[in-house]
C-alpha cells in the first residue's frame, strides 16, 4: 500500500518506481524519452534517459517538470494561456525555463503540489502518453 498522501515524499525509491513506469510505456510505444522529476520548487530531483532519446530531450524534460511543479498545472494547460491574445502571451520569452506545450504534469498528494514530472523525446502526444502511465503509477503509490 502507498504512503498516506498527506505524508508523501518524493524519495529516490519513489522516483525510481515512476521511472520504471515511464520506461515501460516508452518501450511499449517505441519511443526513447527522458524522464525528469522536479521537487515542489522545480529543482531537479531525478532524471533518466531511456533508449535513443534525442539529446535536447534532457533539457526539455527538466523544463517541463519545472514548469509543472512551480505553476502547479500541466504544461499543456499553461500553454493555452500563453497563446497570442491570451493573458500570459509571451511569458515563455521572459522566462526561458517555462514550457508551453504538453509533456509536463504536477505531482499532487494530499491536495498539495509536491513536484512535477517532465517527459521529452517523442511527439507531444507520445510524451503525454508516457506521462499518463507515470501519473497512474503515482496514483497507485499515493493511494
CA distance 20 to 137: 9
CA distance 89 to 84: 5
Segment 76-94 shows an average pLDDT of 86
Question: Residue 70 in contact with residue 44, Cβ under 8 Å?
Answer: no
Segment 96-116 shows an average pLDDT of 95
- Give the pLDDT confidence score for residue 7 in this predicted structure: 66
What is the reported pTM? 0.92
> What CATH number does domain 5-142 carry, 2.60.40.10, 3.30.450.150, 3.40.50.150, 3.40.190.10?
3.30.450.150
Residue 37 scores a pLDDT above 80: yes
Domain boundaries, the chain: 5-142
Amino acid at each position: 500500500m502507498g504512503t498516506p498522501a498527506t505524508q508523501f515524499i518524493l524519495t529516490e525509491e519513489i522516483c525510481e518506481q515512476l521511472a520504471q513506469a515511464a520506461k515501460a510505456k516508452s518501450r511499449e510505444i517505441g519511443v526513447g524519452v527522458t524522464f525528469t522529476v522536479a521537487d515542489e520548487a522545480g529543482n531537479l530531483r531525478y532524471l533518466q534517459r531511456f533508449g535513443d532519446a534525442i539529446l535536447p530531450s534532457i533539457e526539455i524534460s527538466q523544463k517541463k517538470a519545472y514548469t509543472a511543479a512551480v505553476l502547479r498545472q500541466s504544461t499543456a494547460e499553461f500553454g493555452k494561456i500563453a497563446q497570442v491574445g491570451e493573458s500570459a502571451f509571451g511569458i515563455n520569452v521572459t522566462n526561458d525555463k517555462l514550457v508551453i506545450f504538453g509533456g509536463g504534469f504536477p505531482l499532487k498528494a494530499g491536495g498539495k503540489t509536491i513536484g512535477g514530472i517532465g517527459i521529452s523525446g517523442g511527439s507531444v502526444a507520445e510524451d503525454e502518453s508516457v506521462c499518463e502511465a507515470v501519473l497512474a503509477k503515482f496514483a497507485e503509490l499515493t493511494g
